[in-house]
């Protein structure tokens, strides 16, 4: 078995020369990329200038809805919250902490959109207390995600949206570990969860749709299942099924009507954007974990927000959503449990802001 997580993890094993250097690009390179983010799409008339200035010293004033995030006395010692980035224009931050704890301090209806890729179930041990994704049972994993996205819904504006990237995986077939794949050695894992009730050995679990239905039941409107098609997917040593070459990017809305600019990203011949997006995986050389490409995130930013709007990612990892949001003139708040990942994100975001 191989899966999208092993594809993502392959990034850390790529030789330096094959790694994607442009993700740490400065503003000019980023703006130049803006017109060709999605090969089959374009952004008519978009101004990709950034407007944020950065200031490390002053906490954001409370015209800023994020002031509640800046300081919290309720921080657990393991989370060790700190604001590592604070916009002088008082509206962007990277926060170290558990998304569930951090979001609880955010006022209602703060964010225009959330674009995120949560930890996948039992595919990656991020090695830190409080992490989501290492639950023994699939039901517990989904329940934890529903908890996070319940709070995300609360902090989303009435006309706001959620873009959720998630990939699927297979049952372990009774093994408590996963062997390396001949064509993809880094897929090895030293533990595997038990096969979920109702599933069999070798079953595709359907994790994305299970999450989508759970969020729909929790109140989100499920509006689109975008297929992230990966032309450069990892090979798999399988002979009894096709090689997996896609993940999902679900679009949810908080209400029936919501901000969505269908002219912001168009398909070929200016037709309405389709639900299959071809985007190459783009490993980021510093990240020793799953990252998604900026080119997957930027269309979501353009479709769901205007310049100046606030974008949230409760699981920032290496900060890809921040790169896409800040690089296109949006404001951004990212939350991440692992302080060393926030350091990576800060470096990437600082690069985009030309700091």
Ligand X SMILES: C[S@@+](CC[C@H](N)C(=O)[O-])C[C@H]1O[C@@H](n2cnc3c(N)ncnc32)[C@H](O)[C@@H]1O
Q: Which residues bind ligand X (CB under 6 A)?
A: 98-99, 117, 119, 126, 130-132, 287, 289-292, 315, 317-318, 320, 335-338, 341
Closer Cβ to ligand X, 317 or 327, answer by number: 317
**Smallest gap from residue 209 Cβ to ligand X (A):** 18
The alpha carbon dihedral of 41, 319, 326, 303 has a sign of positive
Phi-psi label, residue 19: left if phi above 0, alpha if psi -120 to 50, beta otherwise: beta
**Smallest gap from residue 49 Cβ to ligand X (A):** 23
Q: How far is C-alpha 307 from the chain's CA centre?
A: 20
Residue 256 in 3-state DSSP?
coil
**Smallest gap from residue 124 Cβ to ligand X (A):** 7
Q: In what order do the strands lie in the sheet with 83-86?
A: 83-86, 93-96, 331-336, 310-313, 111-116, 156-166, 246-253, 221-229, 276-278
Q: Which residue is nearest to ligand X (CB)?
A: 317
Distance CA 82, CA 70 (A): 7
Closer Cβ to ligand X, 305 or 320, answer by number: 320
**Smallest gap from residue 131 Cβ to ligand X (A):** 4
**Smallest gap from residue 338 Cβ to ligand X (A):** 4
Closer Cβ to ligand X, 250 or 341, answer by number: 341
Closer Cβ to ligand X, 90 or 296, answer by number: 296
Encoded tokens for 218: 């929790």
Closer Cβ to ligand X, 258 or 289, answer by number: 289
Distance CA 277, CA 349 (A): 25
């Amino acid at each position: 078995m191989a899966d999208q997580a092993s594809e993502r993890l392959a990034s850390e094993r790529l030789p330096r020369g094959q790694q994607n250097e442009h993700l740490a690009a400065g503003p000019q390179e980023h703006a130049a990329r803006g017109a060709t983010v999605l090969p089959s799409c374009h952004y008519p008339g978009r101004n990709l200038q950034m407007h944020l200035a950065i200031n490390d010293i002053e906490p954001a004033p409370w015209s800023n809805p994020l002031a509640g995030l800046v300081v919290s006395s309720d921080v657990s010692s393991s989370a060790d919250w700190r604001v590592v980035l604070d916009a002088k224009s008082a509206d962007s931050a990277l926060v170290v902490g558990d998304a569930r704890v951090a979001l609880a301090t955010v006022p209602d209806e703060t964010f225009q959109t959330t674009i995120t890729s949560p930890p996948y179930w039992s595919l990656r041990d991020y090695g830190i207390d409080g992490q989501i994704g290492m639950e023994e049972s699939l039901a517990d994993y989904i329940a934890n995600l529903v908890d996070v996205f319940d709070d995300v819904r609360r902090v989303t504006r009435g006309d706001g949206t959620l873009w959720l990237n998630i990939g699927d995986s297979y049952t372990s077939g009774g093994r408590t570990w996963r062997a390396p794949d001949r064509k993809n050695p880094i897929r090895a894992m030293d533990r595997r969860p038990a096969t979920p009730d109702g599933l069999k050995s070798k079953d595709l679990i359907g994790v994305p749709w299970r999450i989508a239905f759970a969020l729909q039941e929790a109140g989100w409107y499920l509006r689109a299942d975008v297929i992230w098609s990966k032309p450069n997917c990892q090979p798999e040593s399988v002979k009894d099924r096709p090689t997996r070459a896609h993940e999902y990017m679900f679009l949810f809305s908080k209400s029936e009507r919501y901000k969505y600019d269908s002219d912001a990203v168009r398909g070929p011949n200016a037709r309405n954007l389709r639900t299959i997006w071809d985007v190459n995986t783009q490993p980021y050389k510093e990240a020793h974990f799953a990252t998604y490409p900026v080119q997957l995130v930027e269309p979501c930013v353009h479709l769901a927000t205007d310049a100046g709007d606030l974008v949230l990612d409760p699981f920032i990892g290496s900060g890809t959503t921040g790169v896409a949001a800040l690089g296109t003139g949006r404001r951004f708040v990212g939350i991440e449990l692992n302080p060393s990942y926030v350091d990576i994100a800060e470096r990437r975001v600082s690069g985009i802001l030309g700091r």
